[in-house]
């Protein structure tokens, strides 16, 4: 049986909601990447912008297993200024050599999801098996189950083709 793990970063909680819902639907374990320093409030917003614009990789806390303990990792990241969130970039910098096979789920409020996926693929050094872009509004409204089911079904079929899973309101 294929060992799948979900690893996510969420500043606002939307990515956490998506990760936990996917875990409920799939029974895959879920692990969180935390900021070492809180990003709440205006100062947190400014740090997000600065980290993204400068490419800075902030310190993180991750207490989950190494990604190489899974056959497949599903990475979930918010999109900041059309880029992968800085804490996810830090995680990938640290663990990319341990990621054999992976998929990406990005949570976004506007645009830039595919560019964020490209950021992740560049750091990991290989393209993801599946890509899922979720609009923040759809996650918060509880309307992302169909897309999560599609991801699980596609993964269960172990399709080897590169695939982008679409929600009608996303792409």
pTM exceeds 0.85 for this model: yes
Q: Say yes or no to pLDDT of 152 above 50.
A: yes
pLDDT of residue 169: 34
d(CA 155, CA 134): 17
pLDDT, averaged across the chain:
88
Length of the chain: 171
* C-beta of residue 46 within 8 angstroms of C-beta of residue 40: no
Q: Please enumerate in sequence order all residues whose Cβ is within 8 A of that of 30, keeping only pairs 6 or more positions apart, or say none.
A: 5, 6, 7, 8, 19, 20, 22, 23
d(CA 113, CA 133): 6
Q: Say yes or no to pLDDT of 82 above 70.
A: yes
Q: Say yes or no to pLDDT of 23 above 90.
A: yes
Of 159, 85, 155, 160, the C-alpha closest to 123 is: 85
pLDDT of residue 170: 35
Average pLDDT value for residue range 70-89: 94
Q: Please enumerate in sequence order all residues whose Cβ is within 8 A of that of 46, keeping only pairs 6 or more positions apart, or say none.
A: none
- With pLDDT > 70 as the criterion, what percentage of the chain qualifies? 90
Of residues 13 and 91, more confidence is placed in: 91
Domains and CATH numbers, the chain: 4-165 (3.40.50.360)
Q: Say yes or no to pLDDT of 51 above 60.
A: yes
Q: Please enumerate in sequence order all residues whose Cβ is within 8 A of that of 159, keeping only pairs 6 or more positions apart, or say none.
A: 129
Confidence band, pLDDT 50/70/90 cuts, at residue 22:
very high
d(CA 24, CA 94): 28
Confidence band, pLDDT 50/70/90 cuts, at residue 149:
confident
pLDDT of residue 118: 95
Give pLDDT tens digits for 109-132.
888 889 999 999 999 999 999 999
Q: Where are the alpha helices (DSSP H) in the chain?
A: 14-26, 41-54, 86-95, 113-124, 136-140, 145-156
């Amino acid at each position: 049986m294929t060992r799948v793990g979900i690893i996510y970063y969420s500043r606002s909680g939307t990515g956490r909601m998506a990760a936990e819902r996917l875990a409920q639907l799939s029974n895959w374990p879920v692990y969180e990447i935390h900021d070492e320093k809180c990003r709440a409030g205006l100062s947190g917003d400014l740090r997000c912008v600065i980290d993204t614009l400068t490419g800075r990789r902030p310190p993180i806390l991750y207490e989950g297993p190494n990604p190489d303990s899974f056959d497949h990792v599903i990475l979930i990241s918010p999109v900041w200024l059309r880029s992968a969130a800085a804490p996810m970039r830090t995680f990938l910098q640290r663990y990319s050599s341990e990621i054999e096979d992976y998929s990406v789920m990005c949570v976004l409020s506007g645009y830039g999801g595919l560019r964020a996926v490209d950021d992740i693929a560049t750091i990991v050094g290989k393209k993801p098996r599946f890509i899922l872009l979720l609009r923040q509004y759809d996650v918060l409204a509880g309307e992302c189950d169909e897309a999560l089911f599609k991801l699980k079904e596609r993964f269960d079929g172990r399709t080897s083709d590169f695939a982008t899973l679409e929600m009608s309101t996303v792409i």
